[in-house]
Amino acid sequence: MLLARLSQEEVTGRLVGRAHWHPLEVLFWVAAFATIWLFPSKHLILTEIAWLALFALSLDLILGYAGIVSLGHAAFFGFGAYTAALLAKHEIINEPVIALVVAGLAASALGFVTSFLVLRGTDLTRIMVTLGVAFVLREIANQNGWLTGGADGLQGVTMKPILGQFRFDMFGHNGYVYCLVVLFVLFLLARRIVNSPFGLSLQSIRNNPLRASAIGINVNARLIAIYTIAAGYAGIAGALLAQTQAFASLAYFDFERSADLLLVLVIGGTGYLYGGIIGAVVFKFMHDYLAVLTPQYWPFWIGLLLVVLVMVGRERITGWTAPFRRMADRLDWRRLRPRGETTEGR
C-alpha cells in the first residue's frame, strides 16, 4: 500500500535515512569515551558494564530483532570465556585481540551448530532447548576438570599485553579502554547489520514468520545467520570478561546469568541497540548499590523489579526514553525531509 506508491529510489532513501546518525547517538558515544578520562577511579565497574552491554547487545540481536526467546545465552558467553582463558593459559595465542577474535569465532561455530535446535517448535521449546544447551555445556566444563579446572574455575591465567603494548594493569585502566573499543567496534557492526535489508527482514520475521516467508524471505536461513552472529557477540563478551579478570569459572554458564541478562535488556528496552547498553549501565549500578545494602538478598530486589516491570508493562517503563527520542528528532535537521509514518525502533 504505502510501498506501492514509493519508487525504488525513495525506498532506498528512506532506508538510508533510518540509518543516519542521530546527534544524540554521537553525544552518547562521546560521553562513553569521555568516561575514560572523567572517572578513572570507576574503571573496574565500567569494564563490567562494557562487557555486559556487549552481552546484552548480543541477546538483543536475537530477542529484540529476531524474536527468539533464549534462556541459555550464557552458553556462548561461557564458551567464549573458556576459549579465551585456555588460549592464554596454554600460551597458544598470546595476543589478546587475536585470542578475542578466535573466541568469538569459536562461539559462533557453537552458535551455528545449536541454531538448528532453536528453529523448530514454540517459544517454550526454544526456552527449554537453550536452557538445556547451557546446562550441557556447564556439565561438560564441570566434568572435564583436567582442562577447565572444574568447580574451582580456571586459574593461573596470565594475560599478555594488548597488541604487545598495553599491559592489563591492576586498576583496570587499559582493560576498560580495551573493552570499550571492542564494544564500540562491534556496536558499529551491529548497527550496520540491523539497518541493512537483512536486519529489516529479521524484524519482519519477528513480527510474523508466516508472512515473512510468504514474501520470499528464507526464515530459517536468516534465523541461523543471526543466531550465529549473536553467539559470536556473546562469546566475545565472555572472552572480554575472562581476559580482564584472567579467570574463567562455571558460574559463567549459570542460568542466573542468562536470566539477569534478560533483565538487563528489558530495563533498557528490546529492539533498539542502545537498550542493552543503557540496561547494562542501570543494572550494574543498581546491583552495586543493592549488593552493598543487602549483600545476600539482592536477588530478591532483582526479582521484585522483574515482577513490577511485567505488571506495569515493559513499554511503559522503557517509555521514559521516548521524550529524548522526540527531542532528538527535533534536533535532527535531516528529519526535515519527508518520512514514512513509521518511527525508528519501537
Partner 1 sequence: MLTILFDGIAYGMLLFVLACGLAVTLGLMNFVNLAHGAFAMAGGYVTVVMVNRWGVPFFAALPLAFLFSAVIGLLFERTLYVHVYRKPHLDQVLFTIGLVFMSVAAVDFVMGSQQVFVQLPSWLEGQFTVFGVGIGRYRLLIIVICGVLTVGLQLVLSRTRFGSRLRAAVDDARVARGLGINVNRVFALTFAFGSGLAGLGGALGAEILGLDPIFPLKFMIYFLIVVTVGGTSSITGPFLASLLLGIGDVAGKYYVPTFGSFVIYTIMIVVLIWRPQGLFARPVGR
According to the binding rule CB under 8 A, does residue 120 interact with partner 1?
yes
- Asked whether the beta carbons of 248 and 85 are under 8 A apart, the reply is yes
Helix, strand or coil, per DSSP, at residue 70: coil
Q: Which region, judged by CB under 8 A, interacts with partner 1, from 37-45, 118-126, 189-197, 210-218? A: 118-126
Cα-Cα-Cα-Cα dihedral sign, residues 255, 257, 261, 264? positive
According to the binding rule CB under 8 A, does residue 152 interact with partner 1?
no
Nearest to 28 by CA among 158, 183, 173: 183
* Angstrom distance (rounded) from CA 60 to CA 68: 9
Nearer CB in complex with partner 1: 99/267: 267
According to the binding rule CB under 8 A, does residue 135 interact with partner 1?
yes
Least Å from the CB of residue 228 to partner 1: 18
**Per-residue x/- track, 55-94, partner 1 (CB under 8 A):** --------x-----x-x-----------------------
According to the binding rule CB under 8 A, does residue 102 interact with partner 1?
no
According to the binding rule CB under 8 A, does residue 311 interact with partner 1?
yes
- Asked whether the beta carbons of 328 and 24 are under 8 A apart, the reply is yes
According to the binding rule CB under 8 A, does residue 124 interact with partner 1?
yes
Least Å from the CB of residue 193 to partner 1: 22
Nearer CB in complex with partner 1: 105/131: 131
Nearer CB in complex with partner 1: 75/85: 75
According to the binding rule CB under 8 A, does residue 122 interact with partner 1?
yes
Cell of 82: 573458556
Please state, as a whole number, how many other Cβ atoms lie within 10 Å of the Cβ of residue 23. Answer: 13
According to the binding rule CB under 8 A, does residue 309 interact with partner 1?
yes
Q: Where are the alpha helices (DSSP H) in the chain?
A: 8-18, 23-38, 43-60, 74-89, 96-118, 123-143, 145-148, 173-195, 197-207, 209-214, 219-245, 255-268, 274-293, 298-312, 314-318, 322-331
Site for partner 1 in 252-271 (CB under 8 A): 255-256, 259, 262-263, 266, 270
Nearest to 164 by CA among 84, 96, 245, 89: 96
Nearer CB in complex with partner 1: 21/297: 297
Sequence-separated (6 or more) residues with CB below 8 Å from residue 287: 298, 302
According to the binding rule CB under 8 A, does residue 133 interact with partner 1?
yes
Nearer CB in complex with partner 1: 186/267: 267
Please state, as a whole number, how many other Cβ atoms lie within 10 Å of the Cβ of residue 218. Answer: 13
Cell of 124: 517454550
Cell of 43: 574503571
* Angstrom distance (rounded) from CA 102 to CA 236: 9
Of 11, 90, 92, 143, the residue at the interface with partner 1 (CB under 8 A) is 143
Of 19, 36, 131, 200, the residue at the interface with partner 1 (CB under 8 A) is 131
Of 8, 165, 296, 342, the residue at the interface with partner 1 (CB under 8 A) is 296
Summarize as ranges the residues that interact with partner 1 (CB under 8 A).
63, 69, 71, 117, 120-125, 127-129, 131-133, 135-136, 139-140, 142-143, 255-256, 259, 262-263, 266, 270, 296-300, 302-307, 309-311, 314
